[in-house]
Each structure stands twice: as C-alpha cells, then as structure tokens.
C-alpha cells in the first residue's frame, strides 16, 4: 500500500536520503532503525506526504480519503484546551464519525480520567498519550509514529503498546521510529536499518544481531556494540 521507488532527498547540497526502495504492505509493522541523523524522520515525513522527495517517488495505494495518521516527534497540542476539547476538535476537522473507535481508544490508552485536564496540566507521558490519540483519531490505515514514546513511563508504554498491538492485529499498518528495545520487543517489527541516508537492509526484529554491518558507519557500529548484540 506504500511503495518507495528510488526515494532520494537532497537539502543544501547534502543527500539526506539516497535511493531508498521499499514496500509497505497492509498490516505490516515496520521500524525505521538507525543512529541519529540517519534520515529516519525525513523518510517518515516523505511517507506521510509532508515532504516531497527530490528524486524518486512514494506512492500510496488506498481507497480511503485520509489513510495516514502521522504522530510527530514534537508534541503538537494546544495549550489551554482540555484533552476532551482537543480530541473533539481533531474529530471534527478529520470528519471522524465513529464514537466507538474514539471511546475504545480513550479506554485503551487510559486517558478517561484526564479528559477534563488542560494540556499544560499533564505530565510529559500523558501528553504523549494524547499526542498519539490526536494523530490517529480518524482511524487511519497507516500509522506513522516518530519517537512517540519519549519520556513515557513503563505503565503508560504498556497501555500504548497494547493498543497498538491490538490495532496491528486487526490490520492497521504501523511504521514507527524508536531507540527503545522494550518497544521493539513488544511490537516485533520488521526493521529497516537506515544509515547515512541509505537503507542497508530489512530484517526481522529477532534476527537483527545477524545483520552484516560491513560498510556501515561508525555510529551504526557503536549502536550495535553497545546495544543490539544483547537483544
């Protein structure tokens, strides 16, 4: 449902992404994995249609008018509004008619007790939950999450991951970025290993330690030395 063909992105003479080819199928769960600056966020924005590749293309096949839910790295919420009003606002602009989905999401994410609180009264973790809820309020076919779990405690992570696992099992496609092994172990994704703007390989989460790092950057090698081999 999402086809990347030779996706290349150049900014100020520098290649942030070079010749990325890949295919995201309905119901897939994929993580973009790699060191800081590898190009993960840029690729996710291209998948979301927010950034246009310099060369190549990213095609989306869907019968839905609004198939994509994008949750940005920065919390994007209005201060001064309650959680309930925030959700109602996005429900209105995305024309989401199903209250059932919304209520399921509120219950699953455990945000029913904070509906009357304003954004600035919430902890960072709670804001992340609301940020996730807002980004997927229209029940998208493809969910794109850019480090959506930063600063979230284990209990909140558990709620978010249970909800995402449930959706993925029901057929929602998820592409996410994280540096957190707890999340990778829970979602069991296919890992697209990105390094210096190149897609090195695509491997299952439990085969990552067998990845051939020849040609990988020093940062990628360090990541593997410190972390990956132990998981």
Ligand X SMILES: Nc1ncnc2c1ncn2[C@@H]1O[C@H](COP(=O)(O)OP(=O)(O)O)[C@@H](O)[C@H]1O
Residues engaged in binding ligand X (CB under 6 A): 11-12, 16, 34, 36-42
199 binds, among ligand X, Mg ion, none (CB under 5 to 8 A by kind): none
Q: Are 200 and 194 in contact (CB under 8 A)?
A: yes
Tokens 């980004």 found at: 135
212 binds, among Mg ion, ligand X, none (CB under 5 to 8 A by kind): none
- Taking alpha carbons only, the member of 157, 176, 178, 161 closest to residue 223 is 178
Residues that bind Mg ion (CB under 5 A): 41
Based on CB atoms, which residue is closest to ligand X, 16 or 119? 16
C-alpha span between 177 and 32 (Å, rounded): 5
Q: Please, what is the minimum distance in Å from the beta carbon of residue 74 to ligand X?
A: 12
36 binds, among ligand X, Mg ion, none (CB under 5 to 8 A by kind): ligand X
* ∠ Cα 169 174 175 (to 5°): 150
Q: Please, what is the minimum distance in Å from the beta carbon of residue 73 to Mg ion?
A: 6
Based on CB atoms, which residue is closest to ligand X, 122 or 177? 177
37 binds, among Mg ion, ligand X, none (CB under 5 to 8 A by kind): ligand X
Q: Please, what is the minimum distance in Å from the beta carbon of residue 28 to ligand X?
A: 20
Based on CB atoms, which residue is closest to ligand X, 12 or 65? 12
Q: Are 141 and 47 in contact (CB under 8 A)?
A: no
Strands (E) across the chain are located at: 2-11, 14-24, 29-33, 55-60, 68-71, 142-146, 173-177, 190-195, 198-204
Based on CB atoms, which residue is closest to Mg ion, 102 or 194? 194
Q: Please, what is the minimum distance in Å from the beta carbon of residue 207 to ligand X?
A: 22
Q: Are 151 and 128 in contact (CB under 8 A)?
A: yes
Q: Please, what is the minimum distance in Å from the beta carbon of residue 126 to ligand X?
A: 24
Based on CB atoms, which residue is closest to ligand X, 15 or 158? 15
Based on CB atoms, which residue is closest to ligand X, 74 or 212? 74
Distance of alpha carbon 134 from its chain centroid, rounded? 13
C-alpha span between 17 and 199 (Å, rounded): 9
Tokens 């840029």 found at: 42
39 binds, among Mg ion, ligand X, none (CB under 5 to 8 A by kind): ligand X
């Amino acid at each position: 449902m999402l086809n990347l063909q030779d996706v290349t992105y150049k900014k100020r003479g520098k290649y942030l992404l070079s010749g990325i080819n890949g295919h995201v199928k309905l119901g897939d769960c994929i993580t973009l994995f790699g060191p800081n600056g590898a190009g993960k966020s840029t690729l996710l924005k291209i998948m979301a249609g927010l950034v246009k590749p310099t060369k190549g293309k990213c095609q989306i096949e869907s019968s839905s008018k609004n198939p994509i839910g994008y949750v940005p790295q920065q919390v994007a919420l209005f201060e001064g509004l309650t959680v309930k009003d925030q959700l109602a606002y996005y429900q209105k602009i995305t024309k989401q008619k199903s209250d059932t989905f919304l209520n399921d999401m509120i219950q699953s994410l455990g945000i029913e007790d904070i509906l009357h609180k304003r954004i600035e009264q919430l902890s960072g973790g709670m804001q992340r939950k609301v940020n996730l809820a807002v980004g997927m309020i229209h029940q998208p076919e493809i969910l794109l999450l850019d480090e959506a779990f930063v600063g979230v405690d284990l209990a909140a992570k558990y709620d978010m991951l249970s909800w995402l696992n449930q959706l993925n099992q029901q057929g929602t496609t998820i592409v996410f970025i994280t540096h957190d092994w707890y999340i990778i172990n829970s979602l069991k994704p296919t890992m697209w290993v990105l390094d210096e703007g190149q897609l090195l390989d695509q491997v299952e989460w439990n085969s990552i330690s067998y990845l051939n790092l020849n040609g990988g950057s020093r940062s990628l090698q360090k990541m593997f030395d410190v972390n990956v081999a132990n998981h």
